[in-house]
Structure 1
Amino acid sequence: MWNDTDLLRNDSFSCASPSVEGYRYFGVLLGSAVTIVGTIGNILTVLAFVTDANLRTRFNVLIVNLAFADLLYCTILQPVSVDSYLHLHWRGGATWCRMFGLLLFLSNSVSIITLCLIAMSRYLVVAHRTSSCARLLLSQRGVAALLISSWVLGLASFAPLWPVYVFAPQVCTCSFHRTKGRPYTTVLLFLYFFLGLGFVGLFYFLIYRKVSVAAKAFLKYRPSRRSSKRKQAEAEGTTDDSGISAGASTTQSCEISSDGAVAEQHGKQAQEGQTTTQNATQHASSETTSKASPVVIQNTPAAANSGEDNEFKRVTRMCFTVFLCFVGCFAPFLLLNVADKKNRAPQVIHMICANLTWLNSCINPLLYAAMNRQFNQAYKDLLSKAAHPLRWFGRTHWFTSR
C-alpha cells in the first residue's frame, strides 16, 4: 500500500497530461525508428571506417567520433525515452535519471565539439595547410589528442551538474533543473550551443570566402602547357582527405622547387657539357607529345589538383550539411526554452521540439550515404555481406520445401 511519501515521489516522475495522451504514441513510433535507424547507421559508419582502407583517414576519424556520440544516444538513451513516452512515467529511479541526464549532455557536447573540430580542420586545409600548427593538429597524434579531449571536456563540463539532474515532465525525460543549476547551466548552454555552433558557422563562412577567392584567381591565371609539363615531373607526395600531404608541403612550394630543380639541372648540363643529342631528341619528343596529346594534359598535377579540390568541396559540403541539420534539430527546442521560461506553452509543444532533437542522432549516416560515394559504397558492401547468410538460408529453405 502506497503512503503519501511514495505517492509524492511517484508523481515527481510522471509526465501524464491529457494533451499528450494521444501524441505519446507518435513519440514512441518516432523514438523506435530513431533507435533502429541510428543504431544500424552509426554502426555501419564505424564498420565502414574499419573495413575500408580508403576511408581510414585522419579526417574520417572525426566522423567516427561523431558516430560514437550518436551511438551513445541511439543505443542506450533513446530506448529509455521511448519507455518513458509509452508509460508517461520515468521508471528508472533517481540515480538512473541523473546518469541519463549526464550521458545525454555528454553526447550532445561531444557532437558539438566534434563539429567544431571538423570545421576547423576543413579551414586549416584551406588557409593554413603548410603551418606547423596545422600539421601538428592534423597529425595522427594530434587528432587522437583532440578526440580524447572532446570526451574529457564534455564530461568535465556537465559532471558538476550531477546533483541537479531531475525528471523534466515537459519533455518526459531527465535533464538538469532549470533554476537550481544557474548560472552555471546558462554559461554552458551559451558556450556550447551558441558560441560553439557560432564558431562552426564562422569557419564554414571563412572556407566559402577562401574558396571563392581562389576560384576567381584561378580564372585569371591559367598555367601554360609547358609549366604543366614541368609540374608533372615533380610532386610525388600523397595527400589524404585531411589535406596534409605526406611529401611536399604545398602545391605552390612544389612548383617552385620543381622549377628550381629544372633550372639547376639545365645549368649543370650546360656547364659540364653533358647534353647529348639523344637527350635533346627525347626532350623534343616529350614537348611534342605534351602539345599534341590531351591525355598527357589530363594527367598533369593541375588536373589532379582540380580533382582533389572537387573532392574537398564535396566533403566540405557534406560536413556543412551535417552542421545545418544539427542546428535545425536543436534550434526549435532551444528557442522554446528561452522564450518560455515560465513553462506556459502546452506540454505537447515542448515534446514536439524535444522530439526534433532525436533526429540528429540518426540522420548523419543517411547524409554520408547520400553525399559521399565512398561511404555509400562501403555501406552497400557491408549490407550485402550481412544479407548473404539470409539469402543462403532462403535458397536452402526453398530447395528443402520443394
Structure 2
Amino acid sequence: MDTTAVTRMWNDTDLLRNYTFSCASPSVEGYRYFGVLLGSTVTIVGTIGNILTVLAFATDASLRTRFNVLIVNLALADLLYCTILQPVSVDSYLHLHWRGGATWCRMFGFLLFLSNSVSIITLCFIAMSRYLVVAHRTSRCARLLLSHRGVAVLLISSWLLGVASFAPLWPVYVFAPQVCTCSFHRTKGRPYTTVLLFMYFFFGLGCVGLFYFLIYRKVRVASKAFLKYRPSRRSSERKRAKAEATTDDSGISAGASTIQSCEISHDETGAEQNKNKALEKSEGHTNTKEPKNSIQDASKDTETSSKPTPVTIQTTPAASSGEDSEFKRVTRMCFTVFMCFVCCFAPFLLLNVADKANRAPQVVHMICANLTWLNSCINPLLYAAMNRQFNQAYKDLLGKAVHPLTWIWRTRRITIR
C-alpha cells in the first residue's frame, strides 16, 4: 500500500471520528485514566495557584507594581484555561467522546488558542520590559512603555491581538480525535494556520529567548565593569552632590551611583548639645572675667543649629548589590517561566510537524498534548519557589483562608470536651 493510500485512509477515519466526536481507540483505553488524573490535578492546582496570584497582587501593596501587572495578565490567561477548558478536556478523556456539540467545540478551540497566544504575548512583554530596564531605561520609548498608561496598553493589546489572530479560524475549529479535544483543522486553515503557529511559537518565543540573552550579556558586562572599575570612597564623595539613585517599582536602581543626599533637620538635638556646651564653659571659667561671652557664643551656636543641616548619606555597596541580586532573581524567575513554557509545548509542536500523515500512535499524540496542560498550573509554583514576596503573600492568603476552619475545629473540640 503506497503512502497516498495510507494518508487517505487515515483522513477518512479521522473524518468519520470527527463527525461522531469520538476518540476511542484500543491504544488509549488504559491511558485515559492517567489523563483524567493529570487533568484534574492541573485544574485544582492551576485554579488555586492563579487565583492566589491575582489576590496577592490585589491585597499586597508591595506587589502592586507595573511589572507585576504583566504577571497577573499571564495568570488570568492561565486561569481561563484551568477553570473553563481543562475540566472539559478531563470529561472528554473520561468518556473518550466530545459531549459539547459543534458550537461549543468551536468556542473551545478559539478560547484554547486565545489563552496560549495571550501567554506568549505576555511573555514577550515581560522579557522586553526587563531588557528595557537594563539597557534603555532613560530612553523616551522605555519610559513611555513602562508608564502606567503604557502597561495598560500592553495588557489590552495582548488580548485584542489574540482575538484578532484566531477569531478568523472560527469555521475550521473541529474535533481532533488524535488528542481528544477541539482544535483547528490541520489542512483547511492553511496557510493561515501555518503562519500563525510560526509567528507565535517560533518567532514570538524566539524573541523572548533573544531578549533574555541580551539581558544576560548586559548584566554580565556591567558586573565585570563594576568589579574592575569600582569607584573609590574619595571619588564617590566628590560626586555625591550630582548623584541620584532612583528606584522603580520593580526594585532596580536607575543609575550607576549609589549615593543619596538628603537634609535632616535636628533643631532639638543641636540646641540641646550647644546648651550643654554652654554650661560646661560657664562652669570651667567661673574665675575668669568672660562668662557672658561664653553664654553668648553658645546662644549663637544654638540659633545656628536650629537651621536644617545637609547631611549626606552614602548607601553601602551591600545595598546596591542587594538591588542587583533582586533584579537577577526576578529575571531568573521570568526566564524559568519562559523555559517551562517552551518545554511544555516543544514536544507537541515537533510531533505535529514531523507526523503530518498521522502515522504516530494516538497515545503518543495524547502524551505530548498532556504536557501542554502543565504550563497553566506551573507558574504559581515557580513564583512561590523563586520570589520571596509572592511566597509570603501566598502564605498570608492561605493562612487567612484556613483560619476559619481551624477556629471551627477548635470550637468543636472544646464543645465535645
TM-score by length of 1: 0.84
- Alpha-carbon offset, residue 251 of structure 1: 1.4
Correspondence for 2:338 = 323
Equivalent residue, structure 2, for 1:155: 163
Q: Who is 2:294 aligned against? A: none
Which position in structure 1 is the counterpart of 2:363? 348
Mapped to 2, the partners of 1:203 and 1:242 lie a distance apart of: 20
Aligned to 2:3: none
1:306-350, Cα deviation, whole Å (9 max, x unpaired): 221111100000000000000000000000000000100000000
8 Å CA contact retained: 1:57, 1:242: no
CA contact (8 A) 1:59 1:242 kept: no
1: CA distance between counterparts of 2:18 and 2:218?
Answer: 58
Counterpart CA distance in 2 for 1:177 and 1:339 is 17
CA contact (8 A) 2:53 2:390 kept: yes
1:52 alignment partner in structure 2: 60
2:105 is the counterpart of 1:105: no
User: For 2:80 and 2:180, how far apart are their aligned partners in 1?
Assistant: 19
Is 1:132 the equivalent of 2:140? yes
Cα offsets for 1:115-172 (capped at 9, x unmatched) = 0000000100111000000000000000000010000000000000000000000000
Are the aligned partners of 2:28 and 2:362 in contact in 1 as well (CA < 8 Å)?
yes
Instruction: For 2:251 and 2:159, locate their aligned partners in 1 and report how far apart those are by CA, in whole Å.
Output: 22
Corresponding position of 2:391: 376
Within 5 Å, which residues of 2 pair with 1:175-186?
175-186=183-194
Kept in 1, the 8 Å contact 2:120–2:200? The answer is yes
CA distance in 2, matches of 1:60, 1:334: 29
1:339 to 349, 354, 376: 354
Is 1:392 matched up with 2:407? yes
The 1:9–1:94 alpha-carbon spacing in structure 2 relative to 1, beyond 3 Å, is farther
Residue 26 of structure 1 pairs with residue 34 of structure 2: yes
Q: Give the residue type in structure 2 aligned to 1:391.
A: T
How many angstroms apart in 2 are the aligned matches of 1:231 and 1:98? Answer: 64
Q: Does residue 1:40 correspond to 2:85, yes or no?
A: no
Q: CA deviation at 1:71?
A: 0.1
TM-superposed deviation, 1:237 = 3.6
Summarize the Cα distance change of 1:141–1:345 in structure 2 as closer, same or farther, 3 Å threshold: same
Residue 271 of structure 1 corresponds to none
Return the offset for 1:383.
Answer: 0.2
Match of 2:248 among 217, 227, 239: 239
Q: For 1:246-395, what aligned pairs fall within 5 Å after superposition? A: 250-252=254-256, 299-300=315-316, 302-395=317-410
1:82 matched residue in structure 2: 90
Q: How do residues 190-201 of structure 1 correspond to structure 2 at under 5 angstroms?
A: 190-201=198-209
The aligned amino acid for 1:251 is: G
Task: Describe the SS at the equivalent of 2:358.
Answer: coil
Give the gaps of 5 or more residues in structure 2.
Answer: 1-15, 262-300
8 A Cα contact 1:12 1:167, kept in partner: no
Q: What residue identity is the alignment partner of 1:203?
A: F
In the alignment, the residues of structure 2 paired with residue 166 and residue 213 of structure 1 have an alpha-carbon distance, to the nearest angstrom, of: 51
Moved over 3 A (4+): 8-11, 227-234, 252-255
What SS does structure 2 have at the residue aligned with 1:251? coil
Closer, same or farther in 2 for the Cα pair 1:254/1:216, shift >3 Å?
Answer: closer
Kindly, what percent of the aligned residue pairs are identical?
84
Matched, 1:123 2:131: yes
Q: In the alignment, which residue of structure 1 is the partner of 2:216?
A: 208
For 2:249 and 2:365, how far apart are their aligned partners in 1?
A: 44
Return the alpha-carbon distance in structure 2 between the equivalents of residues 386 and 31 of structure 1: 25
Counterpart secondary structure, 2:249? coil
The range that moved more, 306-315 or 157-166, is 306-315
Decide whether aligned partners of structure 1 residues 122 and 199 sit closer, same or farther in structure 2, where only a CA change above 3 A counts. same
Equivalent-residue separation in structure 2 for 1:12 and 1:193 (angstroms): 31
Q: Residue 32 of structure 2 aligns to which amino acid in structure 1?
A: R
Contact 1:125/1:242 (<8 A) preserved: no
- In the TM superposition, what whole-angstrom CA distance separates every residue of 1:291-320 from its partner, at most 9, and x where no partner exists? xxxxx76x34x4433221111100000000
Please report how far the alpha carbon of residue 230 of structure 1 lies from its aligned counterpart in structure 2 after TM superposition: 5.2
Gap change, CA 1:319 and 1:203, over 3 Å in 2: same
Give, in whole Å, the separation in 2 of the partners of 1:178 and 1:142. 37
Q: Which residue identity lines up with residue 75 of structure 2 in the other structure? A: A
The alignment's C-alpha RMSD in Å is 2.4
- Residue 215 (structure 1) shift: 1.1
**Cα distance in 2 for residues equivalent to 1:356 and 1:10:** 23
Question: Does the CA-based 8 Å contact 1:138-1:242 persist in structure 2?
Answer: no
Report the Cα offset of residue 236 of structure 1. Answer: 6.1
Q: Which is higher, the Rg of structure 1 or of structure 2? A: 2
The normalised TM-score by structure 2 is 0.81
After superposition, the Cα gap between the structure-2 partners of 1:232 and 1:378, relative to the gap in structure 1 and judged at 3 Å, is farther
Separation in 2 of the partners of 1:225 and 1:60?
36
Letter in 2 for 1:82: V
Instruction: State the alpha-carbon separation in 1 of the partners of residues 239 and 64 from structure 2.
Output: 29
Alpha-carbon spacing, 1:231–1:386, altered in 2? closer, same or farther (3 Å) = farther
Look up the match of 1:219: 227
Does structure 1 conserve the Cα–Cα contact (< 8 Å) formed by 2:176 and 2:183?
Answer: yes
Query: Using the alignment, how far apart are the partners of 1:377 and 1:45 within structure 2?
Result: 11
**1:13·1:89 contact (CA, 8 Å) conserved in 2?**
yes
